[in-house]
Amino acid sequence: MKINSNYKLREIAGEKMVVIKGPIGVDLTKVVMLNSSAELLWCSLQGKDFLREEAEDLLIRKYGIKKSQAALDAGEWIISMVKVGLIEY
């Protein structure tokens, strides 16, 4: 899977959010707020094909959590990103 390149991470008013990149600018009617874990995954995996296991490993290394928790968290992140079109298969 791959993060959709039509979206870019931006910091607006101190918050990290993903916005649609349009031909004439940014469409602020379509934004997705990211927490620190989602931001870590986005920044680390953007621009390359990846598997869920890679997201799991990033979470384990950053937060020292168990593999079972990382699998659950990475899976939920992927599902939520796919639902809004931010990750493509």
pLDDT in tens, 14-66: 999 998 766 666 555 678 899 999 999 999 999 999 999 999 999 999 999 99
Predicted TM-score (pTM) of the model is 0.87
- What are the boundaries of each domain within the chain? 2-84
* SS3 assignment for the chain: CEECCCEEEEEECCEEEEEEEECCEEEEEEEEECCHHHHHHHHHHCCCCCCHHHHHHHHHHHHCCCHHHHHHHHHHHHHHHHHCCCEEC
Q: Quick check: 68 pLDDT over 90?
A: yes
What is the pLDDT at residue 28? 57
Q: Is the pLDDT of residue 82 over 90?
A: yes
